[in-house]
Homo-oligomer: A and B are copies of this chain.
Amino acid sequence: MDKETMLNPEEALNRVVQSANLLPPRTIALRDACGLTLAEAIVAAADCPPFRRAMMDGYAVRVADAGRTLPVVGEIPAGSVWDGELAIGQCVEIMTGAPCPAGTEAVVQKERVRRRGNQATLPVSIEPEQNIAPPGSDCRAGQRILDPGATVTPLAIAAMASFGIAAVQVVPRPTLGIITTGGELAAEGRPPRQGQIRNSNGPMLRAMAQLQGIQDPRQLHAADCPELILQALESMARLDIVLLTGGVSVGTYDMVPEALIQYGAEPIFHGVKQKPGKPLLLARKNRQLIFGLPGNPLACHLGFHRYVAAAIRKASGRAAMMPRSRGELAQAMRPKGGRTHFIPGRAEYATGAPASWRVEVLPGVSSSDIFRGCRANCYIELPPGEQTLEAGSTCFFTWFDGLPWGA
Contact = CB atoms under 8 A, between A and B. Distances in A.
A277 interface: no
Q: State the 5 A-B residue pairs at the shortest beta-carbon distance, nearest first.
A: A79-B183, A57-B251, A79-B184, A78-B184, A158-B204
A6 interface: no
11 contacts: A34-B210, A49-B368, A57-B250, A77-B224, A79-B224, A80-B183, A139-B369, A156-B374, A161-B199, A162-B297, A163-B198
Interface stretch (A66-74, A227-235, A315-323): A315-323
A405 B185 CA distance: 37
Given A146-B375, A376-B153, A407-B318, A253 B77 contact: yes
Interface string A150-171: 1101111111011110100000
B162 A79 contact: no
A366 interface: yes
Given A96-B251, A162-B297, 13 more contacts: A31-B207, A34-B211, A77-B183, A78-B184, A97-B295, A138-B371, A150-B375, A153-B376, A158-B374, A159-B200, A159-B374, A161-B202, A166-B189
A187 to B, nearest CB: 11
A335 interface: no
B79 A195 contact: yes
A273 interface: no
Given A146-B374, A182-B78, A184-B78, A195 B98 contact: yes
A153 B401 CA distance: 10
- Interface SS majority for chain A: loop
Contacts of A166: 189
Nearest to A254: B57
Given A79-B195, A183-B79, A154 B204 contact: yes
Interface string A71-110: 0000011111100000000000101111100000000001
Contacts of A297: 155, 158, 162
A393 interface: no
Contact of A51 (B81, B191, B195, B250): B195
A221 to B, nearest CB: 12
